[in-house]
Amino acid sequence: MNKNNTYAGIPAEYGNLSTSKIVIIPVPYDGTSTWQKGADKGPKAFLDASENMELYDIETDSEVYKEGVFLAEPITEKSSPEAVVDAVHQQTKKYINRNKFVTILGGEHSISIGTIRAFNECFSDLTVLHIDAHADLRKEYEGSSCNHACAVYEANQTTNLVQVGIRSMDISEKRTMNEEKVFFAHDMAVNEDWMDDVIDQLSTNVFITFDLDALDPSIMPSTGTPEPGGLFYYETLEFLKAVFEQKNVVGFDMVELCPNENEKSSDFLAAKLFYKMLSYKFTSNDDTYDIGENTIENNPFSKLSKFKNDEDEY
């Protein structure tokens, strides 16, 4: 950890909870992964890489850390996958209720069950934009509904789930899947309009769950289950930027960084991608959103929340 004890080594004045618009919750958990272990080391590798990043973003001409980024205590619960999901759910909701732009850093993908549950309770008409190589639609896997293979089963029941980059699944998941809202990697490879087609499926409020194995293993080898044929960096950025510009992104998580001591570029990619997403959020044209007849002005991620800002409650 840097001398400031802050995200990316930012000056302490930008890391206070009370003045920060952004919160990062690290969840170093890897209890259910089935192949390569090590996603529990993801948050530390991510934070180490973040400290070596230059914090001016050229593309957006911004320094988003000046919005304030509070690095929350890591969630250390490990007793069972269900207990982890509960802890993540509660912590996420706590910070959403303080009107923060909440981001969660995994850890393996099962933690997203908790993050999505919190966002879905706090925001109406929520889309979960699931960017991943895997469908993750199993109801139960190895005896638990909180397994990484089940990450978006609940979201599929309770939100508008839109899946992007999928290239590996079990045939049983076809029964659960809404194929109109699934963008398979092999189709995206030959469809020039896939970004617009995805955006057409999104409601106004969007939560992004980003499994890093959605990216091509040539640029993101350090992940638990690398699958060939993934997204590349600039197309990913172009897509995300369009989503942030056209929709009200209410928060995001990033999961499945499984660091390898001999391969640091994946850690750095994750750190940069995360910072890019923050940069897009806070420089996108987010002054107004049309949601039906209502126009929400300024600070839309909080004003579309079902909850009032109540600092005293916590």
Part of the chain binding Mn ion (CB under 5 A), chosen from 65-73, 85-93, 130-138, 305-313: 130-138
Helix (H) or strand (E) holding 129: strand 126-131
Least separation, in Å, of the C-beta of 146 and Mn ion?
A: 15
132 has binding-site annotation = yes
Quote the CA–CA distance of 260 and 222 in Å, as a whole number. 6
Picking from 95, 111, 91, 97, the residue whose alpha carbon sits closest to that of residue 43 is 111
Least separation, in Å, of the C-beta of 212 and Mn ion?
A: 8
Amino acid identity at 118: A
Name, in order, each residue with C-beta under 8 angstroms of 182's C-beta and a sequence gap of 6 or more: 135, 162, 163, 166
- Asked if 124 contacts 304 with a C-beta cutoff of 8 angstroms, the reply is yes
Least separation, in Å, of the C-beta of 242 and Mn ion?
A: 22
List the helix and strand counts (H, then E) for the chain. Answer: 9, 10
Part of the chain binding Mn ion (CB under 5 A), chosen from 180-188, 194-202, 209-217, 263-271: 209-217
Query: Per DSSP, what are the bridge partners of residue 252?
Result: 103, 208
134 has binding-site annotation = yes
- Asked if 221 contacts 241 with a C-beta cutoff of 8 angstroms, the reply is no
Burial class (CB in 10 A: 0-12, 13-18, 19+), 242: middle
Part of the chain binding Mn ion (CB under 5 A), chosen from 22-30, 132-140, 171-179, 258-266: 132-140
Is 213 a binder of Mn ion (CB under 5 A)? yes
Residue 9 or 114: the one with the smaller Cβ distance to Mn ion is 114
Residue 131 or 296: the one with the smaller Cβ distance to Mn ion is 131
- Asked if 309 contacts 98 with a C-beta cutoff of 8 angstroms, the reply is yes
Residue 134 or 281: the one with the smaller Cβ distance to Mn ion is 134
Quote the CA–CA distance of 289 and 284 in Å, as a whole number. 12
Residue 118 or 220: the one with the smaller Cβ distance to Mn ion is 220
**Residues 30, 132, 154, 173: which binds Mn ion (CB under 5 A)?**
132
125 has binding-site annotation = no
**Residues 41, 93, 98, 134: which binds Mn ion (CB under 5 A)?**
134
**Residues 211, 216, 253, 267: which binds Mn ion (CB under 5 A)?**
211
Task: Return residues touching Mn ion (CB under 5 A).
Answer: 132-134, 211, 213
Give the annotated binding-site residues for Mn(2+).
Answer: 109, 132, 134, 136, 211, 213
Give the annotated binding-site residues.
Answer: 109, 132, 134, 136, 211, 213
